[in-house]
């Protein structure tokens, strides 16, 4: 798989990464460890060299899984993890106190079985802690050799600028997809100006853009999609028109809807890297193959014009989760 550079800080990763959250947390029951390790290692064998996790995914359990799976390949992969959630429990809110950041860093080093964290994100901006203090703490960790790169997640433009002035931000991780193009208004221009890479999570909109989810899909009781307005039965029915557009373009390219959605993202900027997640080997193979699909100008115009006519129904987060997004 081709490589991409995230911003101007020298971090090179595979063009498509693997978001590992769903292996243990958030999108239904965790899959068994043997299957999860096999999937992670299969991704590595197929060229994925960028893996994303966080302290708050199963309170370190996701990090432990990734550490175990990637230990034999550690020198050849980039691992990103995150701090900023109180006690590693999303339900408890945010905590980016500098002392807490250091605790998370030490835990992550242990769980990931590594001596350095390649990319350390603030998971969400904590309104109670000045971003300068957060950036300064990560800067100290970088100087101590415990972290290589600093990242932010779902941060607004003012926060990005303030953090970057203290410690250069290598990457911003936020939601970006055909279903959620809000970053194009302010975020992407600022990232380009400052030389910061963009890591796109939910590039397939929690599975919706694969075409495998419809109004009759039943989610497990532990699945966060049960709490997301866009995934109500009524909104899924209305939003199905998005999939029809993708299917039309996919048919011409002999690809799948998911592959077109990922290829569209890759075509936006050379420093954008999507990190789709999956628990299934066949979906993993499908996603990785998207890196080899090139959409021409006509394809991109057709997709953009069609999606511009569609009004997506439902918010992307619950009201409670939306409060954690920095403006």
- Asked if the model's pLDDT at residue 208 lies above 80, the reply is yes
The string of pLDDT tens digits covering residues 178-193 is: 989 999 999 999 999 9
Interatomic CA distance for residues 119 and 147, integer angstroms:
7
The string of pLDDT tens digits covering residues 305-325 is: 988 888 888 888 777 776 667
Q: Show the DSSP H helices in the chain as ranges.
A: 33-45, 61-70, 98-111, 131-143, 157-166, 187-194, 233-239, 241-253, 257-268, 281-289, 297-308, 319-322
Residue 173: beta bridge partners?
153, 199
CATH number assigned to the domain covering 3-206+265-293: 3.20.20.100
pLDDT at 95: 97
The string of pLDDT tens digits covering residues 143-178 is: 999 999 999 999 999 999 999 999 999 999 999 999
Token code pair at residue 303: 């997709």
Model confidence, pTM: 0.95
Task: Choose the catalytic residue: 57, 111, 121, 176.
Answer: 57
The string of pLDDT tens digits covering residues 275-297 is: 999 999 999 999 999 999 999 99
123-150 in b/e form (b: 16+ CB < 10 A) is bbbbeebebeebbebbeebbeeebbbbb
pLDDT at 243: 87
The string of pLDDT tens digits covering residues 21-66 is: 999 998 888 999 999 999 999 999 999 999 999 999 999 999 999 9
Q: CA angle at residue 134 from 133 to 139, to 5 degrees?
A: 95
Tell me the CA distances in angstroms from 311 to 92, 180, 281, 297, 316, one per residue in order: 34, 11, 33, 23, 13
176 is catalytic: no
């Amino acid at each position: 798989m081709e490589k991409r550079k995230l911003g101007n800080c020298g971090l090179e990763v595979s063009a498509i990464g693997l978001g590992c959250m769903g292996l243990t947390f958030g999108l239904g029951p965790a899959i068994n460890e043997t299957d999860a390790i096999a999937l992670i290692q299969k991704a590595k064998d197929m060229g994925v060299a960028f893996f994303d996790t966080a302290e708050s995914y199963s309170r370190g359990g996701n990090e432990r899984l990734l550490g175990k799976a990637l230990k034999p390949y550690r020198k050849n992969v980039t691992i990103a993890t995150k701090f900023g959630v109180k006690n590693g429990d999303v339900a408890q809110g945010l905590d980016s106190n500098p002392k807490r950041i250091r605790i998370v860093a030490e835990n992550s080093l242990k769980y990931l079985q590594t001596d350095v964290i390649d990319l350390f994100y603030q998971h969400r901006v904590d309104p109670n802690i000045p971003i300068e203090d957060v950036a300064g703490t990560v800067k100290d960790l970088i100087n101590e050799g415990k972290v290589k790169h600093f990242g932010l997640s779902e941060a607004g433009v003012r926060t990005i600028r303030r953090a970057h002035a203290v410690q250069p931000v290598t990457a911003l991780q936020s939601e970006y997809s055909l279903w959620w193009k809000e970053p194009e208004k302010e975020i992407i221009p600022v990232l380009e100006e400052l030389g910061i890479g963009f890591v796109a999570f939910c590039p397939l909109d929690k599975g919706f853009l694969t075409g495998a989810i419809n109004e009759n899909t039943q989610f497990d009781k532990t699945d966060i999609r049960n709490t997301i307005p866009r995934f109500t039965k009524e909104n899924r029915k209305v939003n199905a028109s998005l999939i029809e557009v993708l299917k039309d373009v996919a048919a011409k390219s002999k690809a799948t809807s998911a592959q077109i959605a990922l290829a569209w993202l890759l075509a936006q900027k050379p420093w954008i890297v999507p990190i789709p997640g999956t628990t299934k080997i066949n979906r993993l193979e499908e996603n990785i193959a998207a890196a080899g699909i090139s959409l021409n100008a006509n394809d991109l115009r057709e997709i953009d014009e069609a999606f511009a006519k569609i009004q997506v129904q439902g918010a992307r987060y619950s009201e409670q989760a939306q409060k954690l997004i920095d403006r």
